[in-house]
Amino acid sequence: MLVGVTMLVESVSGRRGAPAQPPAFAARRVVSAMVALALVLTLTSNPYGFERDELYFRMLRPAWGYVDQPPFTPLLARAAALVSAEPWAGRIPATLAAVSSVLVLALITREVGGRAVAQGLCAWSYAFAAIPLVFGHVLLTTSIDVVVWPLVCLFVIRAVLRDQPRWWLAAGLVLGLSTYNKLLVGLLVVALVVGVLAVGPRSVLRNRRLWLAVALAVVLAVPNVVWQATHDWPQLAMGRALSDDNAATVRVIMWPYLLILLGPPLTPVWVAGLVALWRRREWRHIRFLAVAFVVLLVETWVGGGQLYYPIGLLAVVFAIGCVPAAGFLARSRAWRHTAWVLIPVNAVVSALIALPLVPASALASTPIPGINQTVADQIGWPEYVEQVAMVYRSVPASEHPVLLTSNYGEAGALVRYGPDLGLPRPYSAHNQLYFDRRPPDSTTTVVIVGGQFADVRDDFATCEVRGRLHNRDDVDNEEVGEPVAVCRGPRAPWSRLWPRFQHYG
């Protein structure tokens, strides 16, 4: 294996690069991969249940912004809920984004000179890699970024390699609109700018269309910036909270995690892409992408936010690497046969990790919940709500108890499944929910769900734990073992007590 990797890396200095006009689009190979991915994601969209972020998005009222994110993904989730209350409806946008990302990456391969085999290699191997399957299965803000970041890079590559400045405007349009999904796209902009300044071509900085594109992106992003400014820049507080929670882990694990994002068998391909960007003379004008990838890794390490932040540029480098990889496989029959074994194996392993293929009852005996947090976060919500309902019913109705959850997943589950059990809408001080509503000052009895109970129990005259959450599949997730407690006699009016409950994360 190591010998093959070395040979692949050594082969990337070939003189063939991006032609004046890209090769023909390999429609049959690329579209078939897109259709296959769409079918797999659709057929597996409903088992297990909602992921905690999906439950949260469904309960957010439409707004210009929220303290933890821009409005686009929550708006998609609410719109999908009008189609059906089941998970499959909410996951349609994620499926469409993942399928679209396959097309965009195949077009990047084509843009840098990849012919039919290279485009097919990119489309089929990427479509069933780990991260595209994970974020294509559940609707998260990153599900949209999976297509947005490569699309920006596609337009930038076209503007530079084709010397067609109009594509800068397309990149600016996508960047501006993408701020309504996630402000994290700013990391991509910084990485690309640093890359261009470091290795060129710096001449693009004098292009009038580029600066028109910057102006377009800024104008489109203004409502987001205004909302942030008028709400004391809550995204900065969220970033600090994520860093406080995750930085120590992210800074250690992110390096081996790079091998898992697409799968170990595909690692030689994106490594070849990085090397080829440096060594191929015809690609010298897009060499900044290799630098940008390194800058993004540094940004992720310094910020300590989430392990998956590099995926947007990693996918682009992978798509570029498919060109030398296809050439190498064409010259080596033995490694060609090996690749046609390793790529399907990677697809199967990735699908097992990302999709609900293993019965929920068997998950606890596998490493899957530990590898893929989104799987663990899909298990047990209806059962947790039933357990909360048992405690709630144990409180005399004359006390008019309210429900208070520690996190937005618990709140979203109670909103989704609670009405069928006669439960009222819960309160929560987690992220945006803190600002939406608080218990009235007349409230004297509270059923508190989750770990925040330990932090606030002294704010009540009496507290009693009456249950702990568990799921029948014994899958260990964030909710297992969390208390359900009844607290009475708040020691201050809720108007003064509520700020003590506020927390980000």
Same-domain status, 91 and 201: yes
In this prediction, residues 467-475 reach a mean pLDDT of 95
Same-domain status, 333 and 397: no
- The DSSP code for 430 is B
pLDDT band at residue 11 under the 50/70/90 scheme: low
Write the DSSP string, 93-107.
HHHHHHHHHHHHHHH
Domain-embedded: residue 233: yes
Tell which residue, 479, 457, 476, 478, has the closest CA to residue 388. Answer: 479
Measured between alpha carbons, how far is 276 from 11 in angstroms, rounded to an integer?
Answer: 9
448 to 17, 468, 500: CA distances (angstroms): 62, 11, 14
Same-domain status, 349 and 408: no
Same-domain status, 353 and 480: no
Tell which residue, 448, 462, 424, 442, has the closest CA to residue 500. Answer: 448
In this prediction, residues 356-372 reach a mean pLDDT of 94
Measured between alpha carbons, how far is 273 from 12 in angstroms, rounded to an integer?
Answer: 8
Same-domain status, 95 and 199: yes
Same-domain status, 120 and 180: yes
Measured between alpha carbons, how far is 449 from 64 in angstroms, rounded to an integer?
Answer: 29
Domain-embedded: residue 367: no
Same-domain status, 464 and 338: no
Same-domain status, 305 and 442: no
List all residues 6 or more positions away from 57 whose beta carbon is below 8 Å from its beta carbon.
Answer: 73, 74, 76, 77, 78, 90, 139, 412
Domain-embedded: residue 371: no
Q: What is the DSSP pairing of strand 483-490 with strand 445-449? A: antiparallel
What would the two tokens of residue 402 be? 């309210």
Q: What is the pTM of this model?
A: 0.91
Domain boundary pick from 362, 394, 413: 362
pLDDT of residue 8: 56
Same-domain status, 335 and 385: no
Domain-embedded: residue 402: yes
Measured between alpha carbons, how far is 132 from 357 in angstroms, rounded to an integer?
Answer: 16
What would the two tokens of residue 370 be? 């530990």
Q: In what order do the strands lie in the sheet with 402-405?
A: 427-428, 402-405, 445-449, 483-490, 460-468
Same-domain status, 47 and 84: yes
pLDDT band at residue 449 under the 50/70/90 scheme: very high
Residue 492 in contact with residue 461, Cβ under 8 Å? no
pLDDT of residue 2: 41
Domain boundary pick from 314, 331, 362: 362
Residue 488 in contact with residue 460, Cβ under 8 Å? yes
Same-domain status, 162 and 295: yes
Domain-embedded: residue 319: yes
Residue type present at position 22 = P
Write the DSSP string, 349-360.
HHHHHHSTTS-H
- Structural domain count, the chain: 2
pLDDT band at residue 390 under the 50/70/90 scheme: very high
pLDDT band at residue 225 under the 50/70/90 scheme: confident
Query: Is the pLDDT score of 333 beyond 60?
Result: yes
Range of the domain at 130: 2-362
Domain boundary pick from 312, 334, 362: 362
pLDDT of residue 15: 44
In this prediction, residues 80-90 reach a mean pLDDT of 92
Residue 348 sits at φ, ψ, to 5 deg, of -65, -45
Three-state DSSP at 406 gives coil
Domain-embedded: residue 368: no
